[in-house]
Amino acid sequence: MTMTDVSVTTRARWLAVSSVAMGTFTIVTSEMLPVGLLTSIAATLGVSEGTAGLMMSAPGLVAAVSAPVLAITTRRLDRRVMLLGLMALLAVANLAGAFAPNYPVMLAARVLTGVSIGGFWAFAAGLGPRLVPEGAVGRATSIILAGVSVASVLGVPAATFISSFAGWRTAFVAMGVLALVLLALLATTLPPLPGEPRARASEPSLHKAPALASQGRLTWLSGPLKVVLVLTVLIVSGHFAAYTYVRPFLEQVSHAGPALVSAALLLYGAAGVAGNFVAGAWAARNPKPVLVTLAVLMALSTAALPLIDLPLIMLVVWGLGYGGVGVTLQLWIMRSGGGEMGTALYVSAFNVSIALGSFAGGRVVDGVSISAVMWVGAALAVVGAAVAGVSGRSRTTGS
């Protein structure tokens, strides 16, 4: 093979990595889509804001189930085929949501979104070793997972920005078109990815080992992994209990108009991107204190929002905190082991947390007040910081 051939092959591999990263960005942005559009969708479809929050709960619950189920039942199928199918499903779901005539149709579209999210995220997170040489696996994995982290903090502001000019249905259409573009890009750039990767050829079948403890590699019952899953539920649930309803909070409590809401969420997103990369660099050495710091930032900002008339500053602090949570938890879970199934369990816990948080937040909004939901988020962030602070230091820091 000539140097030119090697160069072409290398570029092709990294293009595939970039395409998968764009795919993870697209699926997570689609999941977050209703957050910045909640008020408008609720008004158009004739439901309360609390009920409209089920648009976040439904795909979260479905994704939580689909991640481990698809990981087990499709273990021998080509991952390229699976990723293409799931991206096509996402395009259909977003376009169905865009033209939904009523709320039941919208919820059905969000269920399809959940299937795509759970499977795509679980498969994509572990593709680094199959796309690039061993020495570049860490970098490739970071790029792929950055799509999840950046989408979590930029997807909502981008959708809100589109909606402010062209309506919420246009935002859904835009995500459907983006999914179709990604489908073509993935079909062009991804190589065949047969099931049963060579690294696991000697492991027992998951069908024959439902406990998932194959030769110590799938350590889903390990202490460190349990800690990560508990922290995921606490911090992510608290975040989405509050963040799902951030737009009505800004409108009703801070008296912000559409332009200010869009600007506030874009500012939050920019702070979140900064938090993602700062926390990623710091957490690579020691994720535990990073997660404690991030949870404290989230608690302080959400608790202060109803009390201090400085919503933009508090949203920046909130963005800095939550922006680093995804990458920090992922680095912690990589230290805990688990392979594709470990990642699927993490994806499951993350999406259950989104569903629990948005559902609980909706009940608080409808039953108590829009301000009270911020304090719920703050309380869960405090509990998360405490759990992270007392959890197995020696197993997560290497000390």
Map 172-231 to HEC letters.
HHHHHHHHHHHHHHHHHHCCCCCCCCHHHCCCCCCCCCCCCCHHHCCCCCCHHHHHHHHH
Q: What whole-number distance in Å separates Cα of residue 91 and Cα of residue 282?
A: 36
Cβ–Cβ under 8 Å, residues 164 and 259: yes
**Phi, psi values for residue 206, rounded to 5°:** -65, -25
State whether 70 and 142 are in the same domain: yes
Cβ–Cβ under 8 Å, residues 333 and 223: no
State whether 234 and 179 are in the same domain: no
Domain count along the chain: 2
Cα distances from 68 to residues 71, 225, 384, in angstroms, run 5, 15, 24
- Confirm whether 374 is domain-assigned: yes
Q: What whole-number distance in Å separates Cα of residue 234 and Cα of residue 236?
A: 6
State whether 168 and 239 are in the same domain: no
- Confirm whether 22 is domain-assigned: yes
Instruction: Give the model's pLDDT for residue 226.
Output: 82
- Confirm whether 7 is domain-assigned: no
Instruction: Give the model's pLDDT for residue 210.
Output: 36
> Residue 176: which of 350, 26, 348, 345 has the closest Cα?
26
Q: Which of 180, 195, 210 is the last residue of a domain?
A: 195
State whether 225 and 92 are in the same domain: no
Name every residue whose Cβ is closer than 8 Å to that of residue 270 and which is 6 or more positions away in sequence.
Answer: 319
What CATH number is attached to the domain comprising 35?
1.20.1250.20
Cβ–Cβ under 8 Å, residues 314 and 243: no
- pLDDT tens per residue across all 399 residues of the chain: 554 555 667 777 889 889 999 999 999 889 888 877 888 888 888 888 778 888 888 888 888 889 889 888 887 888 899 999 999 999 999 999 999 999 999 999 999 999 999 899 888 877 877 888 767 776 777 788 777 777 766 777 777 788 888 888 999 999 999 999 999 999 999 888 887 644 444 443 333 333 333 334 444 456 777 888 899 999 999 998 998 888 888 888 888 777 788 788 888 888 888 888 788 778 777 888 999 999 999 999 999 988 888 888 899 999 999 988 887 887 787 776 656 677 788 888 887 888 788 888 888 888 888 888 999 999 999 999 999 988 755 444 443
Q: What whole-number distance in Å separates Cα of residue 51 and Cα of residue 276?
A: 31
State whether 270 and 337 are in the same domain: yes
State whether 92 and 172 are in the same domain: yes
- Confirm whether 294 is domain-assigned: yes
State whether 23 and 171 are in the same domain: yes
Instruction: Give the model's pLDDT for residue 57.
Output: 80
State whether 244 and 172 are in the same domain: no
State whether 19 and 145 are in the same domain: yes
State whether 288 and 384 are in the same domain: yes
- Confirm whether 365 is domain-assigned: yes
Q: Residue 255 has which token pair? A: 């008296």
State whether 167 and 26 are in the same domain: yes
- Confirm whether 120 is domain-assigned: yes
- Confirm whether 267 is domain-assigned: yes
CA–chain centroid gap for 202, Å, is: 32
Q: Which of 157, 179, 195 is the last residue of a domain?
A: 195
Cβ–Cβ under 8 Å, residues 93 and 183: no
- Confirm whether 32 is domain-assigned: yes
State whether 285 and 360 are in the same domain: yes
Cβ–Cβ under 8 Å, residues 163 and 170: yes
Cβ–Cβ under 8 Å, residues 82 and 119: yes
**Phi, psi values for residue 2, rounded to 5°:** -80, 170
Q: In which domain, by residue range, is 164 found? A: 12-195
Q: Residue 31 has which token pair? A: 């999941």
Q: Which of 195, 229, 257 is the last residue of a domain?
A: 195
